Amino acid sequence: MMTNIQEREVRAFLQKKKLSIVVLNEIYDHFVVQISELMRDGMFFQEAFLKTKLDWQYELEMVKADVFSFKKIARIEKKVLQDRFRNITLYAIIATVAAFILDLVNFDLLLFAVLTLGGITFCLLLYNFIFKTMCLREYICLQFHPLIIRNQLLAVILFGVSYAVNQNPYFWEPSANHVFMIFTLTIQIQLLYFRTKKINILLS
């Protein structure tokens, strides 16, 4: 049976890995169960703790969070973030397809959608600043978020390919620009929403 001091030692070790609270609590539970079982088999705490750390060494190894990020996080946290980012991108693509359809139906509807999403983005920013869930430094980091950088690179690639095909410097019509803005705003809204919920999105 682990003592309170031993449990605090385990939690302190995991906190150094800078895990999000949800992941930290889940891994902490695994550590406690695994260490307790080893102690019941006759191991001393430090020996059981060391064995458990070795068993989790790969998952807790600090790795680059993203190709476009210098931040290092635990490998297990990276897996969670990658799944989250894939979902964010998927929703942004769905919104972009919907925006393209709106443009075919009525450009005014597309413009209304852009203004609506812009308003939602502003409200989420205001909420984060008022309730101090985001500071100015984190807002600046948001502009260089890996998903935003990928978005910008995608725009450059699309611009180059479209220009090469059309040979028309004015091909970037307002409607195309608005559709692209839908993609960007949808990503920003999701990132800001997760921030209001204090869910890790690689800002702090």
pLDDT tens string 96-118: 899 989 888 888 999 999 999 99
pLDDT for res 112: 94
Dist CA 7 CA 151 (whole Å): 43
Listed as ranges, residues in the chain with pLDDT below 50 are none
The residues, any chain, with a CB within 8 Å of residue 184's CB and separated by 6 or more, are: 148, 151
Domain boundaries along the sequence of the chain: 4-60, 78-196
Dist CA 26 CA 179 (whole Å): 40
Structure tokens at 202: 């690689």
Closest CA to 19 of 50, 55, 49, 59: 59
pLDDT for res 24: 94
Alpha carbon 89 to its chain's center = 10
What's the pTM?
0.81
Dist CA 148 CA 187 (whole Å): 8
pLDDT for res 169: 58
For residue range 46-69, what is the model confidence (pLDDT) as tens digits?
999 999 999 999 999 999 888 877
